[in-house]
Amino acid sequence: MKIGILGAGQLGRMLALAGYPLGMSFRFLDQNALVCSSELSELLVGDFSDQKILTDFARNLDVVTLEFENVPASAITYLSKLVPFCPSAKALQITQDRVMEKRLFESLAVPCARFFEVNTELDLKKALASLGLPAVLKTRRLGYDGKGQYLVRDLPSALSAFSSLGKADLILEEFVNFQRELSVLAVRDRMGGQDIYPLTENLHSDSILRISKAPASNVSSELLEMAAGYAKKILSELDYVGVMAIELFQSASGLIANEIAPRVHNSGHWTMNGAVTSQFENHLRAVAGYSLGSCEAVGHSAMLNIIGSCPDVSKLLKHPDLHVHLYGKEPRPGRKLGHINIRCDTAEKRDELLEEVKARFSL
Ligand code: AMP
């Protein structure tokens, strides 16, 4: 089984690492030559809109999937004629655009923040009048880790955000007063079989994910059913194959969907040491047409991202419940260099160790 992966960052690297034990081989395509999957497998470097590169990339592949969703629709249309593509062209088209994504939520009765498309100053003023303040102004496309968005608290800050974000192709969202952020990682196979991992609780700072904990605490069966129901509807509607992450806000009124990542996700890295089957292996099983592995958690996990600079690995590895995953990237401020997974047999021990690691290694 030879699998093509669009994008060759750390998610691609961890996909390949999960696929080798299954006898899979890989070919990556990235627009950048300095990527951290290059030491693992064949890498083609070129523009995603270059049909010659796409043709070379697709040669002798069994399936193409991705670790980076901002691939032009034209590339997916072209590739799909040459080789099966997962998760699905429709999933990519919708999740690349926050407005289309929110419309999908609405059409499936998945609760989401109220929103308006914003293309002019008048649109912005009308949207603010309807949603009130504060509100969140975002680009429809290409935002990540809080980039391409502003929390606006009054009209002058809204107008200045409008200018900074390019004055068109924006969305204004109602501010959600959430209690915590959760994500649901779900997987669907080629035959339509689905499963979900236990809900994950996510802690961000400066809009970057810092810590995930799973299974999330205080999850009632109703909450879990609600999340599973939303994931199921979305996966089926998109005819999706592979792992998907849905970011959710938990508020007093229940779960509110924020956005979909049509790929393996940072909030699922704990599954590498804390679930029967990791998100990476399950994504590959799905796209390769194999049966899914169990998504059950093994113990209580936490994941801490290593951002900017790397703590002393020899010190980290002295603790038997810590598992270190480094991506082979050069340190740079704000850059995700790796992550640490903690797995313990109780949530109390996990929380204690998490606090110790955060304090000792300044994470
Ligand atoms: P996003 O790029 O949509 O994932 O947003 C990044 C982060 O900004 C989220 O994880 C939230 O913490 C916050 N955020 C985004 N949208 C909203 C919203 N409508 N209301 C409140 N907080 C938000």
Report the candidate in 354, 245, 246 with the shortest Cα–Cα distance to residue 300: 354
**217 has pLDDT over 90:** yes
| 247 CB within 6 A, ligand 1 | yes
Give me ligand 1 centre to Cα 227, in Å.
18
pLDDT value at residue 222:
95
* Mutation choice for ligand 1 from 147, 258, 259, CB with most ligand atoms inside 8 A: 258
C-alpha distances in Å from residue 89, one per residue of 14, 79, 163, 341: 23, 10, 32, 33
| 114 CB within 6 A, ligand 1 | no
Give me ligand 1 centre to Cα 300, in Å.
26
Q: Is the pTM of this model over 0.95?
A: yes
The whole-angstrom separation of Cα 363 and Cα 361 is 6
Residues β-bridged to residue 43: 28
Give the number of C-alpha atoms closer than 13 A to the C-alpha of residue 85, restricted to the C-beta side: 23
The type of residue at 36 is C
pLDDT value at residue 206:
85
The pLDDT of 232-237, averaged and rounded, is 98
CA dihedral in degrees (284, 290, 295, 301; nearest 10)?
Answer: -30
The whole-angstrom separation of Cα 181 and Cα 210 is 12
Confidence of residue 144 (pLDDT cuts 50, 70, 90): confident
Give me ligand 1 centre to Cα 120, in Å.
22
Give me ligand 1 centre to Cα 258, in Å.
7
**66 has pLDDT over 90:** yes
| 146 CB within 6 A, ligand 1 | yes
Give me ligand 1 centre to Cα 43, in Å.
34
pLDDT value at residue 60:
98
| b/e per residue 17-34 (b: at least 16 CB within 10 A) | bbbeeeebebbbbbbeee
**248 has pLDDT over 80:** yes
Give me ligand 1 centre to Cα 81, in Å.
36
Give nearest CA residue, ligand 1 atom 1. Answer: 146
pLDDT value at residue 263:
98
Give me ligand 1 centre to Cα 277, in Å.
29
| 284 CB within 6 A, ligand 1 | no
pLDDT value at residue 147:
83
Give me ligand 1 centre to Cα 265, in Å.
16
Q: Which atom of ligand 1 is nearest to the CA of 176?
A: 20
| 143 CB within 6 A, ligand 1 | yes
Q: What is the DSSP string of 35-67?
A: -TTTTTSEEEES-TT-HHHHHHHHTT-SEEEES
The whole-angstrom separation of Cα 319 and Cα 322 is 6
Task: Give the tens place of pLDDT for each residue, 281-324.
Answer: 999 999 999 999 999 999 999 999 999 999 999 999 999 999 99
C-alpha distances in Å from residue 34, one per residue of 7, 8, 143: 11, 9, 22
Task: Give the tens place of pLDDT for each residue, 183-215.
Answer: 999 999 999 999 999 999 999 998 899 999 999
| 45 CB within 6 A, ligand 1 | no
